[in-house]
Amino acid sequence: MTLKGYTRNFPPLEILTEEQIEEIHSGTLRVLWTTGVRMEHKGALETLERNGCKVDYEEMRVRFPPGLVEESLRRCPSAFSVKTRDPSKSLMIGGNRLYVLPFPGQRTIDLETWEPRVPTRKDFYDGVKVLDALSSVHGLWSYTPYFAFEGVPPAMGLLESLAGKIRNSGKFYTEGYSKGSEQFSIRMAQAVDAELCVPCLLSPPLTYYGDAIEAALHGAEAGFPVRISEGAVYGGTAPATLAGALVSACANLIAPVVLLQVHRPGTRIFINDFTFPQNMKTGAPGFGNIALSLHAAAFNQIWRRYGVPTCNGAAIPASKRMDFQGGYERAISTTLFALSGANFILLHGGVAAELTHHPLQAILDDDIAGMVGRFLEGISVNEETLALDLIEEVGPVPGHFLSSPHTRKWWRDEQYLPQSADKLTYPEWLSSGKRGCLDYAQDRLDDILANHTPPPLTAGQESEIESILEEARKFYSGQGLITEDEMAVYRQGMKSPRYPYE
């Protein structure tokens, strides 16, 4: 069974003309052939050269012939399924299907001071539990809910993060890589009979370091899907103009598409538009800027033509609190991403750009995803929904529709009922103690933490996950990447009676 997500039942928003798409595409082909892309991976360079690319080994620069680029794009499946630990949560990625996923934070946030703090192991596992409980969260993105948690050496951060997601959720997983960690991640996913989406992360402009290529090849060789992600900021690591940034993004992202499709034809790929206008004051990515939505809309249109599913990587605001700015920036981004045909949107839980995540925000975002998802479903027009006989039956005033079986049957499907929004009448609001959406979201959070039970691992799966973690601990200690002091603190945390959950 496949997780339904949200289905867009009308044509996507298209902001480029055919001529504009052609100009961007031609520009992309030119950049790939004349400028080329630096790939710091000898094996990849050799593979690409054998398949017709021009390779400068000294500069590690590859130039891609246009025919090979177009053939490689044609080899990408335009829609594909991904297996998950809980079979009912498997995904069918592509087409007019939208899935919404959480956004990570380096830390959690204190709701009284709005200051970040390092999450504990319990914070991390509770955060995953909340994401597992929310029906609008269709999978778990890399580094979510937090980049790492207290007591874990940096070398083990990603693997402990994936272990937490595997233990507390059966939904789709994708996880980052560092110093070869993907080899352990792939085995952890295999241990629970799930597929892991392995990323290949660009270092813009036009550069892939060896570890990015290595991770992508490891993922493809395991038969897993790969996501290719751009992290450019236009004005900094891409041209400041949106058209130039689109050419740059497409050239950046197509390079590993070609590599993967010549290395292992038919590899399942989706493309993550994680690009931003540069904040010219701070140097940070311009989270929440409307130019980001313009870029994403055009990006979705171009890659729809290429037949490769897309992710729009950040519907997250720059706002440091759960406030008005946070609300409008994330709602506008999410809406425009969805209308323009994104297959994934990263939304839930992010506060203060990439700095923090909080489950309370994830619960608030559940309503944004639900509202936008309902909009995408569109309007069903048929004999029953047109209700002509009913209109005839009810007639003019004093007739009404409230008591009709048709109303009882349809109204819930036609509306979306937000779970945290304040929709009370004014007197009801007064008597509620003047409660608002944060209060209702807190009620939901308390309820989920008290009552939600993620699908458990079997004893054999748990033992296998812990055994792979232990192997990784020894491997990274042997590499000198975990100090004795770090390991002592780490092992102390494992003595908790509630390990690994607290």
Q: Look at the alpha carbons of 93, 99, 102, 103 in this order and tell me if their dihedral is positive or negative.
A: positive
Q: Which is nearer to another protein, 281 or 498 (CB)?
A: 281
Nearest approach, Cβ of 59 to another protein (angstroms)? 17
Q: Cβ distance 101 to 346 under 8 Å?
A: yes
Secondary structure class of 432 (helix, strand, coil): coil
Nearest approach, Cβ of 279 to another protein (angstroms)? 8
Where b means 16+ CB within 10 Å and e means fewer, 264-298 reads eeebbbbbbbbbbbbbeeeeebbbbbebbbbbbbb
CA 260 from chain centre, in angstroms, equals 21
Give the residue ranges of DSSP H helices in 38-156: 42-50, 66-75, 121-133
Q: Which residues bind another protein (CB under 8 A)?
A: 106, 147-148, 154, 157, 178, 203, 235-236, 278, 280-281, 283, 355
CA 377/CA 113 separation, integer angstroms: 39
Q: Which is nearer to another protein, 367 or 486 (CB)?
A: 486
Nearest approach, Cβ of 282 to another protein (angstroms)? 8
Q: Which is nearer to another protein, 156 or 338 (CB)?
A: 156
Q: Which is nearer to another protein, 153 or 225 (CB)?
A: 153
Nearest to 5 by CA among 142, 137, 173: 137
Contacts with 135 (C-beta within 8 Å, 6 or more apart), sequence order: 366
Q: Which is nearer to another protein, 354 or 367 (CB)?
A: 354
Nearest approach, Cβ of 235 to another protein (angstroms)? 7
Nearest approach, Cβ of 285 to another protein (angstroms)? 10
Nearest approach, Cβ of 154 to another protein (angstroms)? 5
Secondary structure class of 392 (helix, strand, coil): helix
- Nearest-5° angle of CA 404, CA 135, CA 308? 110
The separation between the first and the last C-alpha atoms of the chain, rounded to the nearest angstrom, is 32
Nearest approach, Cβ of 195 to another protein (angstroms)? 25
Nearest approach, Cβ of 488 to another protein (angstroms)? 15
Q: Which is nearer to another protein, 75 or 320 (CB)?
A: 320
Nearest approach, Cβ of 352 to another protein (angstroms)? 11
Q: Which is nearer to another protein, 28 or 289 (CB)?
A: 289
Q: Which is nearer to another protein, 16 or 155 (CB)?
A: 155
242-263 vs 290-306: helix crossing angle, rounded to 10: 40
Q: Which is nearer to another protein, 147 or 224 (CB)?
A: 147
Q: Cβ distance 138 to 3 under 8 Å?
A: yes
Q: Which is nearer to another protein, 278 or 300 (CB)?
A: 278
428: enclosing H helix or E strand: helix 426-431
Nearest to 274 by CA among 243, 247, 302, 253: 253
Nearest to 442 by CA among 111, 135, 119, 102: 111
CA 240/CA 237 separation, integer angstroms: 9
Secondary structure class of 140 (helix, strand, coil): strand
φ/ψ of residue 307, rounded to 5: 75, 30
Nearest approach, Cβ of 232 to another protein (angstroms)? 12
Nearest approach, Cβ of 455 to another protein (angstroms)? 30
CA 415/CA 421 separation, integer angstroms: 14
Q: Which is nearer to another protein, 106 or 461 (CB)?
A: 106
Nearest approach, Cβ of 384 to another protein (angstroms)? 55
Nearest to 40 by CA among 213, 287, 186, 178: 213
Q: Which is nearer to another protein, 415 or 483 (CB)?
A: 483
Nearest to 124 by CA among 141, 108, 140, 101: 108
Nearest to 70 by CA among 309, 307, 279: 307
